[in-house]
C-alpha cells in the first residue's frame, strides 16, 4: 500500500479531477459538483494514509519520490514530506474539501470555479512536498494562475484591481528568490533543497540570498510593510478564495522561511534576526490597531491574519536570540514549534472565520459590520460557531489559537522581556477587535428587517462549521499529535541552523 506514489497522487489527483470537471462542465452540469467533491474527498483520504504511514520518530523526509526531470540542469521531480511539511499538506487537503462544499452554490460557471480550486489544491500540496528548489518554485508561482482567476472572475466589485495587485506583488517578490536559487545552483550544481542546506556560503552572499528569500516570503505571509495586497485580495475574493488564501497560501510564506531561509542562510538569519523580529512586532501591534478600526468584516479578518502571522515570523526568528541568551537549544525550539502550531491553527481559525462571514454574506450580501446586529437571535446555531471561532482568534485557552501564541510568547520571554511584552499586548488587541465584532454583529437588538428574516445554517454549512470547530477545539485541547509530528524535524532544523555555514 505504502509503495504507491502517495504524494504524487495528492498533487495530481485534484488536478486530474479538475480536468474531468471542466470536461463535464458543458454537457453534464449536474455531475460537476459531486465529481469535484469526490476528487477532493479521495485526496483527503489519501493524505490520511500519508499521516498514518508517517514515522514521527525521525526527521528524515518520508514518502520520497525521485525522478530525473530536466537532465541538463540536474533538476529532479523530487517529493517528500517531513514533520514540518506534513501538517501543512494535511491542512491543504482538508481545506480543499471544505471549499468545494462551500462553493456548492456558485452560479457563474461552477465547473471552472471548482476546477480552479482543485488545481490550486494540487499545486499547494506540491509546494509543501517539493524537495527540489526549482520544482518548489514552479509550484509556488503556478499557484498564482488559478488564484488570479478565482479572485478576478468570482470576486467583488473591485476584483480586477485586487487580483492584478495580488498577482504582481507576489510575482515581484518571488523573482528575486529565483535569482538566489540560480546563484546557488551555479555554486553547487544542484537544486536539491537538502544539498542547498549543506552548501557553504560566505556571509555577504548569505545576506543577499536571505534578503531575496525574505522578499519572496514576506510578500506571501504577508509581513508589514508589504502586506497591502492582502486586505484588497481578501475583501474582493469569493468566500472560497479568502478561505484558501488565509488558510493555506499565507502559510506557504512561513513554510518557505523554515524550509529555505533558516537552513540555507543560518548565519544571515542570525545576523538579521532583529529585522524580522522588528517587522513582526510592528505587524502584531500596528496591524492589530488597524484591524480594530475596520468596518468591513472581511477586511478586519484580513488584518487580523497579518497580525497573527506576525507571531509566526516572530517565533521563527526568536530562535537565535534564545540560543545566544541561554546557550541551550531546548528553549529555542519552542519558538519554532509555536510558529508551526500557530500556522496550522491560524489555518483552521481563519478558514472558519471567512466561512462564517461567507454564511452571512450569502444571505445579506453585505460585509459591513453596520448592516448586522442581533444575528444570534435569528441564527442561534450559527452564532455558537461564529462566536467560538472569533474567541479562538482572540486566543481563548482551550482553542487552537491559544496554543501557538502562548508558545511563541513563552519563547519571547526567553529571548527578551520586551519582545514578549509587546507580543502579549496583541492578546488584548486581538480580543478587542474579535469580541467587538461579535458584539456588533451577533448581539444586541436585531439590526434590520433583512437580519430579522435570516434562516439558520443548512446542512452544507453545518458540515463546514462542525469540521472546523472540531479542529479548532481539538488542537486547542490536545495539541500533542501535532507537536509530536513536528518534533523530530524541528530538533534537526535547530541543530542545523546553529552551525555556521561560512567556510
Partner 1 sequence: MMWNDLQLALPEIFVLTMACVVLLADLAIPESRRGLTHLIATLTLIFAAILTARLMLASGEVAYAFSDTFVRDRFGDVLKVFSYLTLAAVFVYAKHYLRQFNLFKGEFYTLSLFALLGIMVMISAASMLTLYLGLELLALSTYALVALNRNSLSGSEAAMKYFVLGSLASGLLLYGMSLLYGATGTLELSALSASLSGGAGQSMLLTFGLVFVVVGVAFKVGVVPMHMWVPDVYHGAPLASTLFIATVPKIASLALAIRLLQDGLGTLHGDWQLMLAIIAALSLILGNLAAIAQTNIKRMLAYSTISHMGFMLMGILGGTSEGYAAAMFYTLAYVVMSAGAFAMVIMLSTAGHEVEEIDDFKGLAKRSPWHAFLMLMLMFSLAGIPVFLGFFAKWQVIAASISAGFTGLAILAVVMAVVGAFYYLRVVKVMYFDEPEASMAPLQAPVDFRALLSVNGIGVLALGIFSSGLIQICVRAFS
Binding residues for partner 1, rule CB under 8 A, total 36
Region of 58-66, 78-86, 152-160, 437-445 interacting with partner 1 (CB under 8 A):
152-160
Angle at which helix 417-442 crosses helix 380-393, to 10 degrees, equals 170
Looking at residue 447, the DSSP 8-state letter turns out to be: -
Cβ-Cβ contacts under 8 Å for 308 (sequence gap 6 or more): 342, 346, 350, 393, 405, 430
Find where cell 479572485 sits: 151
Element (H, E) at 392: helix 380-393
If one asks whether residue 167 binds partner 1 (CB under 8 A), the answer comes out as yes
Q: Tell me how long the chain is.
A: 503
* Candidate residues 9, 91, 127, 138; the one interacting with partner 1 per rule CB under 8 A: 138
Residue 68 neighbours by CB distance under 10 Å? 10
212, three cell numbers: 531575496
Q: Which residues have CB under 8 Å from 78's CB, separation 6+?
A: 64, 65, 66, 67, 130, 131, 132, 135, 192
**For partner 1, the closer CB: 49 or 142:** 142
Residues 6+ apart with CB under 8 A from 363: 450, 454, 455
- Residues 16-45 binding partner 1 (CB under 8 A) are 26
DSSP 3-state assignment of 166? helix
- CB 261 → partner 1: shortest distance, Å? 19
For position 367 contacting partner 1 by CB under 8 A, the verdict is no
The answer to whether 476 contacts partner 1 (rule: CB under 8 A) is: no
- Interface with partner 1 by CB under 8 A: which range of 164-172, 325-333, 433-441, 461-469? 164-172
Site string for partner 1, 48-87 (x = CB under 8 A): --------------------xxxxxx--------------
Which residue, 206 or 426, has its beta carbon nearer to partner 1?
Answer: 206
CA dihedral angle for residue 487, residue 490, residue 494, residue 495, rounded to 10 degrees? 60
Site string for partner 1, 87-126 (x = CB under 8 A): -------------------------x--------------
**Range in contact with partner 1 (rule: CB under 8 A) among 44-52, 134-142, 218-226, 276-284:** 134-142
180 contact partners, CB below 8 Å, separation of at least 6: 208, 209, 212, 213
Nearest CB to partner 1, comparing residues 23 and 435? 23
Is residue 152 at the binding interface for partner 1, with CB under 8 A as the rule? yes
CB of 364 to partner 1, least distance (A): 25
Distance between CA atoms of residues 398 and 431, nearest Å: 15
Q: What CA–CA distance (Å, rounded) separates 93 from 10?
A: 8
Site string for partner 1, 169-208 (x = CB under 8 A): --xx--xx-xx--xx-xx----------------------
To the nearest whole angstrom, how small is the minimum distance from the Cβ of residue 195 to partner 1? 17
Continuous segment of H or E residues that includes residue 503: none
Q: Taking the C-alpha atoms of 317, 322, 328 and 332 in order, what is their torsion angle to the nearest 10 degrees?
A: -40
CA dihedral 121, 264, 305, 401 (to 10 degrees): 90
> Which cell numbers in the block locate residue 215?
522578499
As measured in angstroms, the least distance from the Cβ of 71 to partner 1 is: 5
For residue 199, CA distances in Å to 85, 188, 217, 440 come to 22, 7, 21, 54
**Nearest distance, CB of residue 222 and partner 1, angstroms:** 17
Stretch that binds partner 1, among 40-48, 140-148, 298-306, 400-408 (CB under 8 A): 140-148
112 versus 249: smaller Cβ distance to partner 1: 112
Nearer to partner 1 by Cβ, of 168 and 452: the residue is 168
* Contact with partner 1 (CB under 8 A) among 141, 296, 487, 492: 141
The smaller minimum CB distance to partner 1, of residues 50 and 130, is found at 130
Least Å distance, CB 40 to partner 1, is: 22
Question: Which lies closer to partner 1 via its Cβ, residue 163 or residue 345?
Answer: 163
User: Which of 148, 210, 390, 471 contacts partner 1 by CB under 8 A?
Assistant: 148
Query: Does 142 help bind partner 1 (rule: CB under 8 A)?
Result: yes
- Do the Cβ atoms of 193 and 136 come closer than 8 Å? yes
Closest to partner 1 by CB, 19 or 330: 19
Distances in whole angstroms, Cα of residue 93 to Cα of each of 100, 134, 227: 11, 23, 26
Interface segment toward partner 1; rule CB under 8 A; list 85-93, 139-147, 366-374, 480-488: 139-147
Near partner 1 by CB under 8 A, which window of 158-166, 252-260, 421-429, 482-490? 158-166
> What span, in angstroms and rounded, lies between the C-alpha atoms of 354 and 478?
24
Site residues for partner 1 per CB under 8 A: 26, 68-73, 112, 134, 137-139, 141-142, 144-145, 148-149, 152-153, 159-160, 163-164, 167-168, 171-172, 175-176, 178-179, 182-183, 185-186
Amino acid at each position: 500500500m505504502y509503495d504507491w506514489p502517495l504524494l504524487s497522487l495528492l498533487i495530481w489527483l485534484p488536478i486530474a479531477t479538475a480536468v474531468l470537471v471542466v470536461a463535464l462542465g458543458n454537457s453534464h452540469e449536474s455531475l460537476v459538483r459531486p465529481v469535484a467533491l469526490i476528487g477532493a474527498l479521495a485526496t483527503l483520504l489519501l493524505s490520511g494514509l500519508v499521516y498514518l504511514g508517517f514515522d514521527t520518530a525521525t526527521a528524515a523526509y518520508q514518502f520520497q519520490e525521485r525522478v530525473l526531470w530536466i537532465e541538463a540542469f540536474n533538476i529532479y521531480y523530487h517529493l517528500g514530506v517531513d514533520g514540518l511539511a506534513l501538517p501543512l499538506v494535511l491542512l491543504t487537503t482538508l481545506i480543499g474539501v471544505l471549499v468545494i462544499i462551500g462553493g456548492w452554490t456558485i452560479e457563474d460557471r461552477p465547473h471552472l470555479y471548482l476546477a480552479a480550486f482543485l488545481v490550486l489544491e494540487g499545486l499547494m500540496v506540491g509546494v509543501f512536498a517539493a524537495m527540489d528548489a526549482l520544482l518548489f518554485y514552479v509550484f509556488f508561482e503556478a499557484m498564482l494562475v488559478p488564484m488570479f482567476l478565482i479572485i478576478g472572475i468570482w470576486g467583488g466589485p473591485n476584483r480586477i484591481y485586487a487580483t492584478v495587485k495580488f498577482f504582481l506583488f507576489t510575482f515581484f517578490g518571488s523573482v528575486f528568490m529565483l535569482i538566489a536559487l540560480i546563484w546557488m545552483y551555479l555554486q553547487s550544481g544542484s537544486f536539491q533543497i537538502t544539498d542547498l542546506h549543506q552548501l557553504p556560503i560566505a556571509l555577504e552572499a548569505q545576506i543577499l540570498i536571505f534578503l531575496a528569500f525574505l522578499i519572496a516570503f514576506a510578500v506571501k505571509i504577508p509581513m508589514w510593510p508589504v502586506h497591502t495586497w492582502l486586505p484588497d485580495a481578501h475583501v474582493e475574493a469569493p468566500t472560497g478564495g479568502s478561505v484558501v488564501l488565509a488558510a493555506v497560501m499565507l502559510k506557504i510564506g512561513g513554510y518557505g522561511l523554515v524550509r529555505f531561509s533558516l537552513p540555507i542562510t543560518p548565519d544571515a538569519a542570525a545576523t538579521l534576526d532583529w529585522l524580522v523580529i522588528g517587522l513582526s512586532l510592528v505587524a502584531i501591534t500596528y496591524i492589530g490597531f488597524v484591524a480594530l478600526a475596520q468596518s468591513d468584516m472581511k477586511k478586519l479578518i484580513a488584518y487580523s491574519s497579518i497580525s497573527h502571522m506576525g507571531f509566526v515570523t516572530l517565533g521563527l526568528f526568536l530562535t537565535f536570540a534564545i540560543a545566544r541568551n541561554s546557550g541551550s537549544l531546548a528553549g529555542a525550539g519552542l519558538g519554532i514549534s509555536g510558529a508551526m502550531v500557530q500556522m496550522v491553527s491560524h489555518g483552521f481559525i481563519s478558514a472558519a472565520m471567512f466561512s462564517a462571514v461567507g454564511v452571512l454574506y450569502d444571505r445579506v450580501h453585505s460585509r459591513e459590520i453596520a448592516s448586522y446586529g442581533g444575528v444570534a437571535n435569528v441564527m442561534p446555531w450559527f452564532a455558537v460557531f461564529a462566536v467560538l471561532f472569533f474567541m479562538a482568534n482572540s486566543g481563548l485557552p482551550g482553542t487552537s489559537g491559544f496554543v501557538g501564541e502562548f508558545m511563541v510568547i513563552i519563547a519571547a520571554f526567553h529571548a527578551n522581556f520586551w519582545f514578549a511584552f509587546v507580543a502579549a499586548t496583541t492578546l488584548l488587541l486581538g480580543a478587542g477587535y474579535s469580541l467587538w465584532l461579535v458584539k456588533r454583529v451577533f448581539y444586541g437588538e436585531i439590526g434590520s428587517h433583512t437580519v430579522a428574516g435570516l434562516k439558520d445554517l443548512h446542512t452544507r454549512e453545518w458540515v463546514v462549521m462542525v469540521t472546523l470547530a472540531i479542529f479548532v477545539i481539538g488542537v486547542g485541547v490536545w495539541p500533542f499529535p501535532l507537536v509530536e509530528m513536528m518534533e523530530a524535524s524541528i530538533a534537526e532544523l535547530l541543530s542545523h541552523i546553529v552551525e555556521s555555514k561560512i567556510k
